[in-house]
Amino acid sequence: MSSKLLYYDGENLRSINLQGHLRGLAWDRQDRFPLIVGNGGRILKVRADAPASLDSGTRHNLRAISVNPSDGTALIVGNAGTALLLDEEEHFTKITVPTFENLRAVAWNHDGSVALLVGNNGTLFKFSRGEVVTVDAGRANLRDISWRPKSGCALIASNCFAEEFIPSPNLFSYEAETGIVKPLNEGRADLIGVDWEWTGESALVVGYDVVWHNAFIGIFAGSTLSPVPFENKHVYPVAVAWKPSSDTAAAVVTATGQVGMAEGGVFLWDGKSLNPIFSDREFFFSDVAWTWKGDRFAALASKETRTFNS
């Protein structure tokens, strides 16, 4: 198995190949390197295109990583309720989470005081000051998190069905002050990625229609989710990232449900339309992240990535 790390600086694309099935990435606070997590407990620090492995102390598959903006601590989540803290001195601390469900996403808020961890079967935890608190969020698989800038509110993307094909809301809000989760939208699209733009006026939400296998890309503003026109048959968007300090630039990456059905691709959103800048028939994307300064982004793809398991 192999993965690909793609860099884009606004003009040029370049990539490096990495070993293993890698899933999630985040930049360190100084934008020096991306930290990457993946299957078998793999954690890489990719500096000057040279990947260095860190000993995570686990063999569970790791899925997502978020860097704390206040102290640089990375919170990492993965399968079987795995949660780890990695400090800037490369010391790991295991976080005890009361679940064996697979955790899919993690995100610190704007000041690094609170993080959310989400996963399968409605798994949702609040993490703050070393304490883990369970939050009720239904039964569907939760897929991504985005904190509204300078607020205590987060959006949570979800599959549209729970177990046994029970319909479920596919977008929720979370209020840190009250700890309450509220449904915001229903439909037949699995929503897999979400990100607020820097002003907090709107968020971009991506996923795909589970019946017709069409891409879904929508703008959430206020209280409604409005679809964006997009030529989208057999396109499977899985992650989105807004460029910091821009309301007209976002990166969207795609995967596939089955090899031969779709390509892995990278699109740029200019506020009105999506423009392709890269595609690959062998590598399928799972994550994308801009640097903190927003002068470039990195996107992560693997030959093994599938939309339903990203």
pLDDT in tens, 127-152: 999 999 999 999 999 999 999 999 99
Does residue 1 register a pLDDT over 80?
Answer: no
pLDDT tens, residue by residue, 101-113: 999 999 999 999 9
Instruction: Evaluate whether 67 touches 35 at the Cβ level (below 8 Å).
Output: yes
- Residue pair 25/18 in contact (Cβ under 8 Å)? The answer is no
CA angle 66–286–270, rounded 5-degree value: 90
Instruction: Over range 78-90, report the average pLDDT.
Output: 98
Give the dihedral of Cα atoms 153, 155, 160, 162; nearest 10 deg: -50
pLDDT for 11-55, tens place per residue?
999 999 999 999 999 999 999 999 999 999 999 999 999 999 999
Rg (CA), the chain: 17
Give the alpha-carbon dihedral of 246, 247, 248, 251, to 10 degrees: 70
> Model pTM greater than 0.75?
yes
Contact 12, 291 (CB under 8 A): no
Report the chain's mean pLDDT, rounded to a whole number.
Answer: 96
Domain residue limits, the chain: 2-309
Is pLDDT of 162 > 90? yes
Whether the predicted pLDDT of 182 surpasses 90? yes
The C-alpha atoms of residue 270 and residue 161 are separated, in whole angstroms, by: 31
Fold of the 2-309 domain: Methylamine Dehydrogenase; Chain H (2.130.10)
